[in-house]
Structure 1
């Protein structure tokens, strides 16, 4: 398809907003994916094109976190690799499978996750004992594979879920968790992008234009996390979870 000027006017500003949110707490797909649909892009093309713009922006926020040393690189490397594998599998599965079962699972899980975030005001780990290095690696790598697979298959909320697991279960501080989340999210975006590219579903011109706005949003959003930490992350995480829950529930009545 060849998008008209109206498509660009709808998609680009909303992708900027989505990327700003995504750089801080994940969940930008809640805004960007509907933006493509609102612009008249068919669903499979929208999912594929959204990965193009999202991947471009995620490169920027990932680089900024790493530059400021807000990432555990030795832990991020195996996480990156398993997320690549999981997302590629999920993306290929998305092309042939209904996502209704996964949506039902999320409807059950999201209220629990939101309650945890509201109760844990600092967004830091409440673990009573120090994890061993092996335990920490097991939790992070398993989560990276499972959530990476989800990102390739469906996507919205991926960064939020990673952030919550890294802080709540693996005991990472918020800034390091944000950096590692971006590294893993980049892997899942690139793998899914590759799968969708070979399927021929990407609207390249629209995706490249949106990528410019995605880069700007990720740059500004990641800067706010570096400066403000948990003060900016927590309220946006809660907002993302609420929007994701509403989006999934409403999807059953459309």
Structure 2
């Protein structure tokens, strides 16, 4: 296959992934299958690491775009990100000892519950109901960050969606504040994954950086659209992405 065509196709996939991921997460649904299709004989760890190189630029850009209009709750986002960094590192290491596929049925069930709950609760994330963040909120953020960070390093699908849902349901954020907080934690998990993979496998740096530029463009477009249309738009995108995640995991679990 012509290398220029491969880079162009993967660049377009990264742009769309950045657009979706900047709003509600789920960019990996687009980028990873595209990488595996283009390089079917490459080591999975190489492709996972290359995907993270592309993702971290878009995620960081989205976080910056949101921060210009939405106040970041650093009291919970900072400790959550620190815990996510550590959790993702150990999650990536755990892949050597356990098969991530064992989580697929459980994650499928959890995503269905998240989708049903979000659909039924029309007011979920519509307005911020955050308390004054104290010690309890910090402990909750550390727990969410460590747990979801480990999951992202170990398996990954739906990380952004789980973060957004938990920040809304447990910490009372609206969809926009939950989304920007999720981006902060995602930057940390991506950084941990890149550090681990770069030290253990050979990454496709030229491809990763090309995709990162495209991911950045998509991320700017997506975050601006989310800020323009508000929480209702983000909620609809959230439900759409979770539904696609459910379909993908159901296919992988029962039909593949």
TM over 0.5: yes
What runs of 5+ residues in structure 1 fail to find an aligned partner? none
Q: Deviations over 1:94-129 (max 9, x none)?
A: 244311221121122111110011112233279999
Match of 1:83 in 2: 84
Q: Deviations over 1:133-157 (max 9, x none)?
A: 3332222221111111111112221
User: Pairwise CA RMSD of aligned residues?
Assistant: 2.3
Between the aligned partners of 2:207 and 2:118, the Cα distance in structure 1 is 36
Shift of 1:131: 7.7
Shift of 1:27: 1.0
Structure 1, 144-153 or 92-101: larger mean CA deviation: 92-101
Between the aligned partners of 1:7 and 1:219, the Cα distance in structure 2 is 23
Between the aligned partners of 1:208 and 1:189, the Cα distance in structure 2 is 14
Shift of 1:180: 1.0
Shift of 1:201: 3.5
Structure 1, 26-35 or 218-227: larger mean CA deviation: 218-227
Q: Does 1:159 align with 2:154?
A: no
Q: Does 1:134 align with 2:156?
A: no
**Would you say how many aligned residue pairs link Structure 1 and Structure 2?**
253
- The answer (yes or no) to whether the contact 1:71–1:177 under 8 Å persists in 2 is no
Q: Does 1:12 align with 2:11?
A: yes
Distance 1:129 1:241, change over 3 A: closer
Q: Compute the TM-score of the two structures, normalised by the length of structure 2.
A: 0.91
SS of equivalent residue, structure 2 residue 171: coil
1:215-234 correspondence to structure 2 within 5 Å: 215-234=216-235
Q: Deviations over 1:13-65 (max 9, x none)?
A: 01111111100001111111111011125322221110000011111111122
Q: Compute the TM-score of the two structures, normalised by the length of structure 1.
A: 0.92
Distance 1:127 1:16, change over 3 A: closer
Between the aligned partners of 1:125 and 1:136, the Cα distance in structure 2 is 20
- The answer (yes or no) to whether the contact 1:125–1:167 under 8 Å persists in 2 is no
Shift of 1:160: 1.0
Match of 2:35 in 1: 36
- The answer (yes or no) to whether the contact 1:24–1:232 under 8 Å persists in 2 is no
Distance 1:126 1:223, change over 3 A: closer
Match of 1:212 in 2: 213
Distance 1:177 1:247, change over 3 A: same
Q: Does 1:175 align with 2:187?
A: no
Shift of 1:74: 2.1
Shift of 1:177: 1.4
